[in-house]
């Protein structure tokens, strides 16, 4: 197997999963710019070929690694195309992961997908490549892995609906006024999951859940009006499916990404993991409440973009990536993220998805719409 984004949160946990599994052999690793941890992992796992997407970091890696270093975005795609892997775990951050997802399926490997942006920006292209490849697409996102596992018990007609749970993030229960002055470090203090900065901010705005609604629509082919979101602060129930007789199947466990990672890598088998076990001898409760769509506008914006279809989810995602970057850099306030995404969706008209080049253009136009707004407000 190959791990793309090996130095991020999911990538590092995947390396731990692989180390515990005799049947898995690593043949390639990639990172954007974290050279030292990448090379350390390559040496520890006996991997002779790595890709580093930032050119300056690639040059540094080449000088420090006895094996082969492929540089730049093309190097990443070459790693995927030439690895002859059975499975590629794509844990790249953001829309940059789409080309790698397509290359994985074109190379005839199963795609274990932690890069949800691939499906949001390029869902129709990924599904077409998947159908041509005859391979499998296995979600690593915990909610979607949970739904996939529940669907194992569903008959041919499929589920009546899907329910995605959301922790609610660090700002659950707050009003819009109370969010006006929240800081970067408050947004990065996630109550239940330890993740990278971008997805943690997305969890605070609930954009992450909005992106996951689109991801679920693409993965499972369920119409938007049958995909529910419920806030569940304990993050013990990861996903549910509704059946036509009124029953619900739920997937429970302590929040630990090694479970969905391991499931995707060993599917359809299940391997032992070191995940903590849910202790049912202690009293605890599971709470569920509806999301506050007026305060957390990003969730509603994502659903609207999903329903609009075509390039709208790509625009939503690109505008959000640009806005979250600006928030992490201290250039905008928390509530500006939703306003900037809404502005980009208004400015860029949705078109049916036809090509990767078209999506790259929609992505760039959306990012430009965000930077134009930032430039105007800076004057």
Shortest separation between residue 319's beta carbon and Mg ion, angstroms? 20
Question: Of 38-46, 117-125, 138-146, 242-250, which part binds Mg ion (CB under 5 A)?
Answer: 138-146
Sequence-distant (6+) residues with CB within 8 A of 322 are: 340, 366, 367, 370, 371
- 8 annotated among ligand-binding-site residues: yes
Q: Residue 104 or residue 208: which is nearer to Mg ion going by CB?
A: 208
The answer to whether 292 contacts Mg ion (rule: CB under 5 A) is no
CB-nearest residue to Mg ion: 141
The answer to whether 336 contacts Mg ion (rule: CB under 5 A) is no
13 within 8 A of 258, measured Cβ to Cβ = yes
370 within 8 A of 345, measured Cβ to Cβ = no
Give the DSSP letter string of 323-348.
Answer: HHHHHHTTSS-TTHHHHHHHHHHHHS
Sequence-distant (6+) residues with CB within 8 A of 307 are: 224
Q: Residue 141 or residue 321: which is nearer to Mg ion going by CB?
A: 141
Question: Of 43-51, 132-140, 141-149, 222-230, which part binds Mg ion (CB under 5 A)?
Answer: 141-149
Sequence-distant (6+) residues with CB within 8 A of 134 are: none
- 355 annotated among ligand-binding-site residues: no
Shortest separation between residue 181's beta carbon and Mg ion, angstroms? 27
Shortest separation between residue 141's beta carbon and Mg ion, angstroms? 4
The answer to whether 321 contacts Mg ion (rule: CB under 5 A) is no
The answer to whether 141 contacts Mg ion (rule: CB under 5 A) is yes
Q: Which residues pair with residue 360 across a beta bridge?
A: none
Nearest to 222 by CA among 208, 242, 204, 203: 242
- 115 annotated among ligand-binding-site residues: yes
- 208 annotated among ligand-binding-site residues: yes
172 within 8 A of 233, measured Cβ to Cβ = yes
- 168 annotated among ligand-binding-site residues: no
Q: Which residues pair with residue 163 across a beta bridge?
A: 228, 240
Please count the residues of this chain forming the interface with Mg ion, following the rule CB under 5 A.
Answer: 3
Residues binding Mg ion (CB under 5 A) = 141-143
Q: Which residues are annotated as a binding site for 1-deoxy-D-xylulose 5-phosphate?
A: 116, 142-143, 167, 190, 203, 208-209, 212
Annotated binding site for Mn(2+): 141, 143, 212
């Amino acid at each position: 197997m190959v791990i793309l984004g090996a130095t991020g949160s999911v990538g590092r946990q995947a390396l731990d999963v692989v180390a515990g599994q005799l049947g898995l052999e690593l043949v390639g690793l990639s990172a954007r710019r974290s050279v030292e941890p990448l090379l350390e992992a390559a040496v520890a796992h006996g991997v002779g070929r790595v890709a580093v997407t930032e050119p300056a970091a690639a040059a540094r890696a080449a000088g420090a690694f006895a094996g082969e270093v492929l540089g730049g975005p093309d190097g990443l795609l070459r790693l995927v195309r030439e690895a002859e892997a059975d499975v590629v775990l794509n844990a790249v951050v953001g829309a940059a992961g789409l080309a790698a997802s397509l290359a994985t399926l074109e190379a005839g490997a199963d795609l274990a997908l932690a890069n949800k942006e691939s499906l949001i920006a390029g869902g129709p292209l990924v599904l077409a490549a998947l159908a041509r490849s005859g391979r499998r697409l296995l979600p690593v996102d915990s909610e979607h892995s949970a739904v996939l596992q529940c669907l194992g018990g569903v008959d041919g007609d499929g589920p009546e609906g899907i329910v995605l749970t959301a922790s609610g993030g660090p700002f659950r229960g707050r009003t819009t006024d109370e969010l006006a002055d929240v800081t970067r470090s408050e947004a990065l203090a996630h109550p239940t999951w330890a993740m990278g900065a971008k997805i943690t901010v997305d969890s605070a705005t609930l954009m992450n859940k909005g992106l996951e609604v689109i991801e679920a629509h693409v993965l499972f082919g369920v119409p938007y009006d049958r995909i529910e979101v419920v806030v569940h602060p304990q993050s013990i129930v990861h996903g549910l499916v509704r059946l036509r007789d009124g029953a619900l199947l739920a997937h429970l466990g302590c929040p630990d990404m090694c479970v969905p990672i391991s499931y995707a890598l060993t599917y359809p088998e299940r391997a032992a993991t070191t995940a903590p076990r849910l202790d049912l001898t202690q009293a605890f409760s599971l709470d569920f409440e509806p999301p506050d769509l007026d305060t957390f506008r990003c969730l509603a914006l994502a659903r609207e973009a999903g329903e609009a279809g075509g390039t709208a989810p790509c625009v939503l995602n690109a505008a959000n990536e640009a806005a979250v970057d600006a928030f992490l850099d201290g250039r905008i306030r928390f509530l500006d993220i939703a306003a900037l995404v809404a502005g980009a969706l208004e400015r860029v008209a949705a078109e049916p998805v036809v090509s990767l080049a078209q999506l790259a253009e929609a992505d760039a136009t959306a990012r430009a719409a965000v930077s134009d707004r930032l430039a105007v407000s800076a004057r």
